[in-house]
Structure 1
Amino acid sequence: MTASAATGARRTAPARLTSGQLPRFIEPMILVGVAVVVGVVLFLLTRDFNAGLWLFLTAIAYLVAVGVASSIVENRRKATDRVVRGLVVSAFVLAVIPLVSTLVTVIAQGAQVVNWQFITTVGGTQFNPETLEVTYVPGALQAIVGTLIITGIATVISVPIGILTAVYLVEYAQPNNPLRRAITFLVDVMTGIPSIVAGLFAFSLFALIVGPKAFSGFSASIALCVLMIPIVVRSTEEMLRLVSPELREASYALGVPKSTTIMKVVLRTAASGIVTGVVLAIARVVGETAPIFIAASFTDAFNANPFSDPMQTLAVMAYTNYSFPTTDIAASQAQAWGAALLLVILVVIFNLIARIVATVFAPKSR
């Protein structure tokens, strides 16, 4: 009886299905504690504070501490999960730090010079014949106008070519078509082409047509087209492939021609992604410096004619004022930071437009 009772007790004893659990906020508590300890030890050893070394050692010590604590209290699987999650967060922070640092620096430096007068004034050196003094007037109107004109022309040329090319690749060309393979190969090559090569191509092309003095905004637009077209083709192609084949078949079953089906069904369904890709392509090329510097050169004079004479853009303005300052170095650097801030604001506006357009043209919202 005693042995039977003992056996029954062992059988009815509940099995342990769960392990221990660390407190909910243990990870931030360990992080703060490790950061303080590492900071104190570094200060005692070096008598100095190195932010980069402190962050690196804190991350290593945190991963070790959280892994050991989880292994003791919980189990090996949860410890591995916490360590891997810490590695992912550390990689994210490492990637965000340069971005945040650059953004803060641009805003802090550019906000000192950017105002309404800076936006609406043509900047550059001015000579006073009465006092014989050369003064530097801050202003970015010529660069803003040049940026909008050059980017606008590039968009007008690139978007139709890119969308029509994607429509041909997805809707008309057969998978084994040699022309389709050639176009796909060329688009892949153009995607990885250096931007400075696009500028050299555009300048050489117009130098053959109009002569050695081929600097113009239109030449810079052609250089940007070389960079924009593959982005538009790839983004549009992927969006068209996401359109359900059943929609096409339903349209064909109703007797609708293929061209009308593409216009009314396929493109309208993929409009959200296509417009988003186009706007992101614009935001990608609006900050290019090398191709515009080569094809359109730079100038402080106001020029709204894209077919003759050099033209200024915000990216080139920031580069030239910082690399080739005038006698007033502080004013040139302030001009460069102001142009950089306006360029960042312009890119943010383009991305916001992409988000709004994607929401408006989404099939579910319609």
Structure 2
Amino acid sequence: MITALDQPVKPQVFTAVSGRRKTINVLATFLVYASFVVAMVPLVWVLYTVISRGFSALVSETWFTRSMRGILPFDEGGGAYHAVVGTLMQGAVAAAFAIPVGLMVSIYLVEYSNGSRLGKITTFMVDILSGVPSIVAALFIYALWITTLGFSKSSFAVALALLLLMLPVVIRSGEEMLRIVPMDLREASYALGVPKWKTIVRIVIPTALPGIITGLMLAIARVIGEAAPLLILVGYATYINYNMVDGEMGSLPGMIITELNNPSAAGRERLWGAALTLVLIIALLNVFATLISRYTGSKTK
């Protein structure tokens, strides 16, 4: 005998939707798409302008193989080899100091501070440092490194200023990625008798590694385009200088500023070429971060 309890329960279908909800849904959808379009318009416009005006310089055969040594402001030719090398060297030195220090601070704030007074002070100082303008960081390095300690203007001083700008980004990105690691993974490791330091090294960091690497690449891309430290701490050189602690050094922001004062057609071409090269370097850093994030970290089966 089949009772009412044996009958399959049909899912209730909600078909009656009020007109007010439909109107709000349509309005919200329209606002989302409109915001996307508004945000994309300046981005596409900037990219189109930089690419259209700087592409001719990039495709020249001397752009990535020659420097501006011996090239007069009104002369044709020359390249950005010296500027690319200088920009990468300054960014690499700043990253070499900022990445280990920033990650260790992130680990302390997430794993060891536990709401302590030192942790709160550190968080407050990171917040303050993240809002410091680049020119203020450059002036601080000038006052400390050059005026007080007596060192000369150099590319290393620029790297120190970039370090101050890069450090809060590294700390914040590393802290956020470490916090999203599930506590269950830590507790499972502790239950097996694994020490805390080894749990952090073998469990927590590999789990958060893709996000950490992305944050590091964004931090590097954030600082390599800064121009204020270059204007204050080092002069622009039209040649390659591998000595980070002495002499002027070329860089892409410095090349842009120099060629901006050049009214010739060749100067305008080199200006937009340097701008496009800087954009491409930042884009490559983001692509590199995406690839590393995809092939690192813990894999799920």
Same fold (TM over 0.5): yes
Could you say if the C-alpha distance between residues 18 and 257 of structure 1 is closer, same or farther in structure 2, counting changes exceeding 3 Å?
closer
Q: State yes or no: 1:161 paired with 2:96.
A: no
In the TM superposition, what whole-angstrom CA distance separates every residue of 1:289-324 from its partner, at most 9, and x where no partner exists?
1122222231213211111112121122112211x2
Give 1 or 2 for the bigger CA radius of gyration. 1
Q: How many residues were matched structurally? A: 286
Q: State yes or no: 1:99 paired with 2:38.
A: no
Could you say if the C-alpha distance between residues 122 and 207 of structure 1 is closer, same or farther in structure 2, counting changes exceeding 3 Å?
same
Hey, what's the Cα distance between the residues in 2 that align with 1:267 and 1:167? 9
Contact 2:218/2:286 (8 A) holds in 1: yes
Hey, what's the Cα distance between the residues in 2 that align with 1:215 and 1:286? 18
- Structure 1 match to 2:171: 233
1:126 Cα offset (Å) = 3.6
1:76 Cα offset (Å) = 4.1
1:124 Cα offset (Å) = 4.9
- Listed as ranges, the gaps of 5+ residues in structure 2 are 1-14
Could you say if the C-alpha distance between residues 232 and 92 of structure 1 is closer, same or farther in structure 2, counting changes exceeding 3 Å?
same
- Structure 1 match to 2:57: 113
- Structure 2 match to 1:265: 203
Correspondence for 1:348 among 273, 283, 287: 283
- Structure 1 match to 2:110: 170
- Structure 1 match to 2:8: none
Name the structure, 1 or 2, with higher relative contact order (CA <8 Å, separation 6+). 2
Hey, what's the Cα distance between the residues in 2 that align with 1:284 and 1:228? 7
Q: What code does the residue aligned with 1:198 have?
A: A
Hey, what's the Cα distance between the residues in 1 that align with 2:45 and 2:163? 31
Correspondence for 1:207 among 146, 158, 181: 146
1:209 Cα offset (Å) = 5.1
Q: State yes or no: 1:283 paired with 2:221.
A: yes
Contact 1:126/1:137 (8 A) holds in 2: yes
In the TM superposition, what whole-angstrom CA distance separates every residue of 1:160-182 from its partner, at most 9, and x where no partner exists?
0000001111111121x221111
**What secondary structure, in the 3-state scheme, does the structure 1 residue paired with 2:56 have?**
coil
Q: Which moved more, 1:87-96 or 1:231-240?
A: 87-96
Could you say if the C-alpha distance between residues 180 and 76 of structure 1 is closer, same or farther in structure 2, counting changes exceeding 3 Å?
closer
**What secondary structure, in the 3-state scheme, does the structure 2 residue paired with 1:283 have?**
helix
Contact 2:71/2:78 (8 A) holds in 1: no
Correspondence for 2:194 among 256, 278, 281: 256
Could you say if the C-alpha distance between residues 282 and 168 of structure 1 is closer, same or farther in structure 2, counting changes exceeding 3 Å?
same
Q: TM-score, normalised by structure 1?
A: 0.73
- Structure 1 match to 2:12: none
**What secondary structure, in the 3-state scheme, does the structure 2 residue paired with 1:364 have?**
coil
Contact 2:206/2:297 (8 A) holds in 1: no
Hey, what's the Cα distance between the residues in 1 that align with 2:300 and 2:96? 27
Could you say if the C-alpha distance between residues 210 and 137 of structure 1 is closer, same or farther in structure 2, counting changes exceeding 3 Å?
farther
Q: What code does the residue aligned with 1:196 have?
A: I
- Structure 2 match to 1:140: 80
Summarize the alignment of residues 177-216 of structure 1 with structure 2, pairs less than 5 Å apart: 177-208=116-147, 211=150, 214-216=152-154
**What secondary structure, in the 3-state scheme, does the structure 1 residue paired with 2:153 have?**
coil
Q: What code does the residue aligned with 1:314 have?
A: L
Hey, what's the Cα distance between the residues in 2 that align with 1:365 and 1:248? 17
Q: State yes or no: 1:122 paired with 2:67.
A: yes
Q: State yes or no: 1:306 paired with 2:241.
A: no
- Listed as ranges, the gaps of 5+ residues in structure 1 are 1-16, 20-73, 128-132
Contact 2:91/2:224 (8 A) holds in 1: yes
Q: TM-score, normalised by structure 2?
A: 0.88
- Structure 1 match to 2:273: 338
Contact 2:74/2:266 (8 A) holds in 1: no
Hey, what's the Cα distance between the residues in 2 that align with 1:96 and 1:201? 37
Q: What code does the residue aligned with 1:195 have?
A: S
- Structure 2 match to 1:61: none
Hey, what's the Cα distance between the residues in 2 that align with 1:305 and 1:295? 15
**What secondary structure, in the 3-state scheme, does the structure 1 residue paired with 2:114 have?**
coil
Between the aligned residues of both structures, percent identity stands at 40
